[in-house]
Amino acid sequence: MESTGWMQRCLELARLGSGSAAPNPMVGAVLVQQDRILAEGWHRAAGGPHAEVECLRAFGDGAVPHDAVLYVNLEPCSHRGRTPPCVDLLLERGVKHVVIGQLDPFAEVNGRGIERLRQAGVNVLLGIEEAQARWLNRRFLVSVQNGRPYIVLKWARSHDGFMDRHPRSSREVQRISSPSTDVLVHKWRTEEQAILVGSRTVLNDDPQLTARLYSGRQPLRVVLDREGITPPGSKVYDGSTPTLLFTTANRSELDAEQVLLPEDRDPLPTLLDELHRRQVRSVLVEGGAALIGHFLRSGLWHEARVITGAVFFEQGTVAPVLTDPPQRSWRSSNDRIDLQMNQSPESKWGVIPDPSWLW
């Protein structure tokens, strides 16, 4: 198998950390000798062993063959964080050949790992399947390079273009997508660190904002409620998972950590800065038309996933419309899902995998 094939295997392993590795990047490692896998590993969770460590542990305590090649999709770290530097381990174990997908832009690494390896006589090849590697870790890259979370907008629209039906008869979520698509959405929730809605969504739909239909990490629930109109008995305040409330008024009666917003400013920069300070790399925005529209107008988004269901509402809240055609479209039961990337420079990744690879 060629280098690209082994790097593809690294990426497959790295994806196993989706929903658990953050705020760290997703990384896989494969140790190969003459087209034969000697060991594999991947980074399972922040604070745990990195992929290179897992791989060499799986190999065992014996000497690493001089012609063995270690493939890893992200530059090995050269600094001590929660765990020791991976570069030190590679040198101690006598690894002589390393193939890397991409540089780690984190300030304490960013080429230093490769430099140390080369200075020690290790043969390093960089940039194999780099576009795929960057796409996989786009959340981490945006967070590190741009100082704010990666924003995924998600909304569902009826076949005739409405987000809900008017008049509303009860305070509950109005179903648009099919049950199988609902499971997919809950999978998406496990893959992002936070899920954000506005006050009107809480007031009208009373959503739980949890991943109940798919096994994985529960996202941090984030509510933007400047006017303090969300009812105390709302499900987002049930204490089942943490909730972070952004508001201009102290709501001490709510079971939620609160961040006070300036009253006379756009709340999104403050919200995104605070989430970045907390090392939240990505946010799934499932708000209504007002919040989604605010993100679209501000340009503070990276990816939009639009679900069009088979139901007809005839009248209601008009769903946002993206002017550019989607980069990917596919079917989920009776629904159509469109993937649209923001065309700003930081969102032009150059490669968007087939949905079967991505989800």
Rg (CA), the chain: 22
pLDDT at 356 over 80: no
C-alpha span between 3 and 5 (Å, rounded): 5
Residues 6+ apart with CB under 8 A from 38: 31, 32, 59, 65, 68
What is the token pair recorded at 317? Answer: 């809240």
Instruction: Tell me which residue of 92, 66, 74, 57 sits closest to 15, measured CA to CA.
Output: 74
Tokens representing residue 138 in the block: 């786009």
Query: With bands split at pLDDT 50, 70 and 90, how would you rate the model's confidence at 351?
Result: low
Q: List pLDDT tens digits, range 87-123.
A: 999 999 999 999 999 999 887 788 899 999 999 999 9
Beta carbons within 10 angstroms of residue 217's beta carbon? 17
Q: Which residues contact 200 (CB under 8 A, 6 or more apart)?
A: 287, 288, 290, 291
Q: Which residues are catalytic?
A: 52
The answer to whether the Cα torsion of 73, 75, 78, 79 is positive or negative is negative
Which DSSP letter does residue 73 get? E
The pLDDT assigned to 84 comes to 81
Give tens-digit pLDDT for 272-303.
999 999 999 999 999 999 999 999 999 999 99
- The strands making up 28-33's β-sheet, listed across from edge to edge, are 36-42, 28-33, 69-74, 97-102, 123-126
Task: Report the predicted TM-score, pTM, of the whole model to 2 decimal places.
Answer: 0.93
